[in-house]
Amino acid sequence: MNDLYVQPVFLLGLGGVGRALARQILATRDRHARRNRLHLAIVGVADRTSSIVEPSGLSDAAVRDLLDRKSRGERLTPDPRPLIPDSLPPHTIVVDTTATDATALWLIEAKARGMGVVLANKLPLAGDLRWWDAIADERARWETTCGAALPVISTLNTLLDSGDEVIRIEGSLSGTLGFLSSQLEAGVPFGQAVRDAKARGYTEPDPRQDLGGLDAARKALILARMLGYRLEMKDVAVESLYPPEMDALSVDEFLREADALDAPMKQRAAELTAGGRKLRYAAEIADGRLRVGLVGAAPDSKLGSIRSSDSIVVFHTRYFGDNPLAVSGRGAGQEVTASGVLGDIVSLSRAMRR
């Protein structure tokens, strides 16, 4: 390992994506050694309840043991504080695969100490603008915040770096809402479609977390901020697919009472699909504004032609005018998201070495 560059990596979060990432780091040792002369040393891991740190790097056997313990629901260590410790090397890359905004201050602290950060977690970048300003620079990567491993962020950065003018961005950013849209378009009653999506594992345990549109809005807000729009979440027009009074219901109650939305959602779908248009839950970013909600897309458009469960982001620019540039494909999944995070780690390590 003497001729390899050793890159310290500290993992925040050992949920599904975090564990998949750790396994992929171990599985790609030989490839990164050959291709990048790189050895990724996991110097610590932390979750909501505990943390463990080894500045010289945990052995692969120790990492596998931690993954086994986490899969059994055990704590990492008795230490209850998942902090970024002072003992970490200054060129560490801190990787956030959690789903909480509580990590924002830790990431900002890491940046202040000269470290790099990689995020799969959208919340710090879609939260307070001051967090965005402190995190989103050349020592950060966040490709997987807007479509798993789809190269959405890198494509937008390339467009901006090339001097192209991005006039409008539209996208279907939620596979869950894409599935529901296709079901409604096919005439499936709303309540039945929601219950089916949950049974298939397409939704969060509480489907309202998807139906409210906030996840899609956060992804779109990150893209809007990359364009320079100084927007907060309160500035985003978000169409929820259920009324706010249903927030007080339990999950089981909501699933039973969702049938009450069948008629209004059927009417909404009929209005938007008139003339053969395709029903999509989409984001639109243009003219300093951002909206997410149901739309009727022309069937021959890029937004209208994708499979319902796929994600797509369409860039309308000065150079890509008549035929806009699109990035589409599978936009969710723990393994594919982890692979995108790993790519970000290698990319950032290469940049930090220079």
* Digit-coded pLDDT (tens) for 201-212: 888 889 999 999
Q: What is the pLDDT of residue 2?
A: 67
Q: What whole-number distance in Å separates Cα of residue 180 and Cα of residue 202?
A: 10
**The pLDDT value given to residue 344:** 98
The pLDDT score that the predictor gives to residue 78 is 64
Q: Measured between alpha carbons, how far is 9 from 93 in angstroms, rounded to an integer?
A: 5
pLDDT of residue 330: 82
Q: What is the CATH number that goes with domain 159-329?
A: 3.30.360.10
State the average pLDDT over residues 72-100: 81
Q: Kindly provide the b/e burial profile for residues 144-167, where b requires at least 16 CB atoms within 10 angstroms of the residue's own CB.
A: bbbbbbbbbbbbbeebeeeeeebe
**C-beta separation of 165 from 321 below 8 A:** no
Band (pLDDT 50/70/90 cuts) for residue 81 is low
pLDDT digits (tens, 9 = 90+) for 169-203: 999 999 889 999 999 999 999 999 999 999 988 88
Please give the residue that has the higher pLDDT: either 322 or 235.
Answer: 235
Nearest to 110 by CA among 125, 127, 92: 92
What pLDDT band is residue 32 in, cutting at 50, 70 and 90? Answer: very high
- Where in the chain are the domains? 5-148+334-353, 159-329
Angle at 145 between CA 139 and CA 146, to 5 degrees: 125
pTM of the shown model? 0.93
Chain segment 43-64, per-residue pLDDT in tens: 999 988 788 899 999 999 999 9
Question: How far, in Å, CA of 77 to CA of 10, rounded?
Answer: 16
According to the model, what pLDDT value does residue 279 have?
96
Mean pLDDT of the chain, nearest integer = 93
Is residue 79 predicted with pLDDT exceeding 70? no
Cβ pair 327, 151 in contact under 8 A? yes
Residues 234-256: what's their mean pLDDT?
97
Average pLDDT rounded to a whole number, residues 321-328 = 94
pLDDT, average across residues 275-292: 96
Mean pLDDT of 132-151: 95
For residue 246, give Cα distances in angstroms to 72, 200, 237: 35, 23, 20
CATH topology of domain 5-148+334-353: Rossmann fold (3.40.50)
Give the Cα separation of 297 and 308 in Å (integer). Answer: 12
